[in-house]
Amino acid sequence: MEQVTRRRVICGNWKMYKTIDQALHFIDELSPIVANANCNVYLAVPFTAIKLMADKAKELHISIGAQNMNDATEGAFTGEVAALMVKDAGASFVLLGHSERRRVFKEDNAFINRKVKRALQSDLEPILCIGETFEEREEGRTQEVLKEQLTACLNGVDRELAKKLIVAYEPVWAIGSGKAATSEIAEEIQSFCRETLASLFDAEVADRTPLLYGGSVTSENSKDFLNQPNIDGLLIGSASLHPESFAKIIQLCQNSASSNDSLAKGE
């Protein structure tokens, strides 16, 4: 089979942090470092900062995205934001199914599935987040849970559109805990996810889908993850809030000697 190009993606998730001023200041500090980045730099920012950040990030080749969206095109849904609206503001991608959305806002796989399809139809790249809880891992159910999340969240997704998908494995127990998964665990899981994607779609879709790891990623541990063959990038929470640590991870991504470096930076 023809070798498939797989992008490397370093994505920050700012969660509910940063005013517009703080966001613009961040990007001013980051810009000299990312000017020559040979990996894809993504930032999922608060809705309020998307427009100005996207305008500013364009020349820096940083992609700005949303952290959520509703599945409906429009309607009487007070407080919600539609795919078209985040796209209109300049977002090129959207995080979907983050464990904080699942746990705090009770989002289930069926709802996330509708959002994934809406995002793809709206020309937004979905970063689908999946991950098991500590209890599920202790019970030996990790693969079962992840397969269920992938299968349900991607149900009915068109194969051609699926080529725009990114999948992030974020074990719930590793998020914000300071206890990252080992790179071996993350690699084993991402290899399993790639197999699952192949069974849901086909080998080509599975081979080209960037698979990210997230959960207590730091500038110290990021290299271990990036050196794994099935880990194509990182989804970073707190370490993405500071330009120095985020920049360091981007630089490590550029320099990492992963076996998939030959696949770096495809379109």
- Specify the amino acid at residue 219: S
Strand partners, 187: none
- Is 170 an annotated catalytic residue? yes
| Residues 207/194, Cβ–Cβ less than 8 Å | yes
Number of Cβ within a 10 Å radius of residue 19: 11
Shortest reach from residue 267's CB to ligand 13P, in Å: 24
d(CA 25, CA 31): 10
Each residue 4-23 as x (binds ligand 13P by CB under 6 A) or -, in order, gives ---------x----------
d(CA 169, CA 213): 5
**Residue of the chain from 17, 80, 176, 207 that contacts ligand 13P (CB under 6 A):** 176
| Residues 44/13, Cβ–Cβ less than 8 Å | yes
**Which range touches ligand 13P (CB under 6 A), out of 26-34, 35-43, 48-56, 232-240?**
232-240
Shortest reach from residue 68's CB to ligand 13P, in Å: 12
Shortest reach from residue 242's CB to ligand 13P, in Å: 12
Q: Is 215 in the site for ligand 13P (CB under 6 A)?
A: yes
Of residues 154, 242, 248, the one with CA closest to residue 198: 154
Q: Using CB under 6 A, count the residues that bind ligand 13P.
A: 14
| Residues 18/241, Cβ–Cβ less than 8 Å | yes
- Is 244 an annotated catalytic residue? no
| Residues 65/95, Cβ–Cβ less than 8 Å | yes
Q: Is 216 in the site for ligand 13P (CB under 6 A)?
A: yes
**Looking at beta carbons only, is 205 or 236 nearer to ligand 13P?**
236
Of residues 149, 107, 103, 155, the one with CA closest to residue 129: 149
Each residue 152-171 as x (binds ligand 13P by CB under 6 A) or -, in order, gives ------------------x-
**Residue of the chain from 40, 122, 221, 238 that contacts ligand 13P (CB under 6 A):** 238
φ/ψ of 63, rounded to 5, equals -90, 130
**Which range touches ligand 13P (CB under 6 A), out of 34-42, 152-160, 188-196, 213-221?**
213-221
What does 84-96 look like in DSSP terms, one character per residue?
HHHHHHT--EEEE
CA 28 to chain centre: 23
d(CA 55, CA 26): 14
Q: Which of 107, 136, 170, 187 is catalytic?
A: 170
**Residue of the chain from 162, 235, 252, 264 that contacts ligand 13P (CB under 6 A):** 235
**Which range touches ligand 13P (CB under 6 A), out of 20-28, 154-162, 221-229, 236-244?**
236-244
Q: Encoding tokens for residue 125?
A: 């790249």
Shortest reach from residue 92's CB to ligand 13P, in Å: 17
Q: Is 90 in the site for ligand 13P (CB under 6 A)?
A: no
**Looking at beta carbons only, is 164 or 242 nearer to ligand 13P?**
242
d(CA 42, CA 60): 11
Give catalytic residue positions: 98, 170
Residues forming contacts to ligand 13P in the complex (CB under 6 A) are 13, 98, 170, 175-176, 214-217, 235-239
